[in-house]
């Protein structure tokens, strides 16, 4: 395993994202600063400079501290919300691993869920995903295993025998089996093979019998039917309900300190012999306290021209809007209300950005930068993403928002105590 030690101050890091963040920090290390940033990997952080690092609020998760957030009134005037290295200072991660609950993250993508659960104090053993770009990102930010494998060809027995060589107990299984097949935004094809990927998840649960599981998916899962007209959710729950007490929740990430609405289905299951009945996790913020997107936007002066829509695109939007109004239809381009959390960022954001645009005026409309998209999903600024811009945006759009996952992790830890 790679050594994560700062050459300047000698500080050791368990987690790659903390290490990268440390290398990027604004204040130099006290000793020998001349090598600072020499080792830094820049993939996916091209807009990041030492002057604009965003750190999520350094809350001690006592909600009273929320007021410490710097709610600026002007667009993109966020500078540093907090100079502390948020993910690095969480006391939860300084405890001994032997006391921690072990997690296996299936369909882990670039690691949004893993990052949040890790921040909450859980011990991630491995993440598995078949997309090489996402796994490359995962490995660049996490020091535990990132396994590139097709889960339909990678049964739990194989993971256990070939990868879990220390025979670590799996306490929690998490993951978001792909949802494109059942997303309301997609075609919801009943024959889409991606809809049966849930069974891979079930296989892992049946094999490891973890204390708990957390499954994330799109809202569409609740109404999706298979070719025999059965509700997918009923089929899934018929497996889970056998050995787990479950709760199905519809939650907004924005209620959990994420500057984005992102409504998702979260199914939490606790093994029946533990005699715990999970309930819906309590919201962290009230509606009026939700984090407005203006808090995380970059200053206008820092936005490259390439992010602005062309005259042709502006005209196209205008025409489509007129047509949609005449036909009484909705229209796809959405402009952010800067005083509210962002609209949901989907994986397809790379196509045109119409899901969430910043509008300064009728003629100045722009897409969000990768750094802003990361912030909207509450990834640390230093989180490294592999691949082309399209790949990176897809990974961000696929992810569970880190801060949301953090609160889910906290909830699970609390009820398993
Ligand atoms: C919704 S994303 C998961 C995002 C992740 N939970 C996060 O927080 O970043 C679903 C992931 O499933 C992966 N996937 C799809 N089919 C797969 C398969 N057969 N085997 C393994 N991974 C698969 C995709 O590559 C994608 O990264």
Which pLDDT tens digit goes with each residue over 265-277?
999 999 999 999 9
Query: Is the pLDDT confidence value at 232 over 80?
Result: yes
Cross-strand bridge partners of residue 263: 252
316's tokens: 């196209």
Q: What is the mean pLDDT of the chain?
A: 82
> How far does residue 107's CA lie from ligand 1's centre (Å)?
4
Q: Which of 36-45, 203-212, 217-226 has the lowest mean pLDDT?
A: 36-45
Alpha carbon 82 to its chain centroid, in Å, reads: 21
Ligand 1 proximity of 215 Cβ (cutoff 6 Å): no
Q: What is the predicted pLDDT for the residue at 27?
A: 57
Model confidence pLDDT, tens digit, residues 168-212: 999 999 998 885 555 445 555 555 555 578 889 999 999 999 999
Closest CA to 172 of 138, 201, 135: 201
Averaged over 39-58, what is the pLDDT? Answer: 36
Q: Which of 62-76, 146-160, 278-292, 399-413 has the lowest mean pLDDT?
A: 62-76
pLDDT bracket for residue 229 (50, 70, 90): confident
Q: What is the predicted pLDDT for the residue at 189?
A: 56
Q: Percent of the chain scored above 90 by pLDDT?
A: 63
Query: Is the pLDDT confidence value at 139 over 90?
Result: yes
> Which CATH number, 3.50.50.60, 2.60.120.860, 3.40.50.1980, 3.40.50.150, labels domain 97-417?
3.40.50.150
The reply to whether the predicted model has a pTM over 0.85 is: no
CA-to-CA dists, residue 122 to 34, 171, 208, 414, angstroms: 35, 10, 17, 11
H or E segment at 308? none
396's tokens: 């961000």
Q: Which of 42-46, 52-56, 219-223 has the lowest mean pLDDT?
A: 42-46
pLDDT bracket for residue 39 (50, 70, 90): very low
Ligand 1 proximity of 399 Cβ (cutoff 6 Å): yes
Greater confidence (187 vs 386) lies with 386
Q: What is the predicted pLDDT for the residue at 45?
A: 34
Which mutation among 103, 107, 217, 218 tests ligand 1's pocket best, with the greatest number of atoms within 8 A of CB?
107
Query: Is the pLDDT confidence value at 369 over 50?
Result: yes
Q: What is the predicted pLDDT for the residue at 8?
A: 73
> How far does residue 64's CA lie from ligand 1's centre (Å)?
36
Q: Of residues 6, 179, 246, 402, which has the active-site annotation?
A: 179
Q: What are the strands of the beta sheet with 244-252, ordered from one edge?
A: 145-148, 123-129, 102-106, 172-175, 212-217, 263-271, 244-252
Which mutation among 103, 127, 155, 178 tests ligand 1's pocket best, with the greatest number of atoms within 8 A of CB?
178
Ligand 1 proximity of 116 Cβ (cutoff 6 Å): no
Query: Is the pLDDT confidence value at 79 over 50?
Result: no
């Amino acid at each position: 395993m790679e050594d994560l030690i700062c050459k300047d101050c000698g500080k050791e890091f368990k987690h790659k994202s903390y290490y990268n963040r440390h290398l990027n920090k604004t204040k130099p290390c006290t000793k020998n600063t001349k090598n600072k940033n020499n080792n830094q990997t820049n993939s996916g952080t091209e807009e990041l400079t030492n002057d604009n690092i965003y750190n999520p609020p350094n809350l001690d998760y006592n909600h009273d501290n929320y007021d410490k957030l710097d709610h600026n009134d002007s667009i993109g005037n966020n500078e540093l919300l907090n100079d502390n290295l948020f993910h690095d200072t969480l006391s939860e991660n300084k405890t001994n691993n032997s006391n921690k609950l072990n997690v296996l993250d299936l369909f882990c993508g670039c690691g949004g869920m893993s990052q949040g659960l890790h921040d909450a104090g859980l011990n991630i053993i491995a993440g598995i995903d078949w997309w090489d770009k996402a796994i490359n990102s995962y490995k660049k930010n996490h020091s535990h295993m990132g396994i590139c494998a097709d889960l339909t060809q990678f049964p739990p027995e194989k993971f256990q025998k070939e990868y879990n060589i220390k025979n670590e107990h799996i306490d929690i299984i998490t993951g978001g089996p792909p949802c494109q097949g059942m997303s309301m935004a997609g075609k919801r094809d009943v024959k889409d093979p991606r809809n049966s990927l849930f069974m891979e998840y079930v296989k892992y649960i049946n094999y490891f019998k973890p204390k708990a599981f957390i499954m994330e998916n799109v809202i569409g899962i609740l109404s999706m039917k298979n070719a025999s007209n059965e509700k997918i959710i009923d089929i899934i729950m018929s497996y889970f309900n056998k050995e787990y007490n479950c709760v199905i929740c519809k939650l907004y990430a924005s209620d959990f300190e994420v500057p984005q609405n992102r409504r998702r289905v979260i199914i939490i299951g606790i093994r029946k012999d533990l005699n715990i009945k999970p309930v819906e996790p309590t919201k962290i913020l009230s509606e009026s306290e939700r984090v407005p997107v203006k808090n995380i936007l970059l200053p206008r002066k820092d936005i490259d021209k390439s992010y602005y829509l062309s005259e042709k695109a502006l005209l196209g939007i205008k025409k489509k809007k007129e047509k949609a109004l005449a036909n009484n239809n909705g229209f796809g381009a959405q402009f952010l209300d800067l005083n509210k959390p962002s609209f949901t960022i989907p994986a397809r954001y790379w196509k045109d950005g119409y899901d969430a645009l910043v509008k300064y005026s009728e003629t100045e409309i722009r897409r969000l930068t990768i750094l802003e998209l990361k912030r909207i999903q509450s990834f640390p600024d230093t989180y490294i993403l592999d691949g082309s811009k399209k790949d990176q945006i897809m990974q961000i759009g696929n992810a569970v928002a880190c801060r949301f996952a953090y609160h889910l992790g906290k909830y699970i830890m609390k009820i398993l105590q």
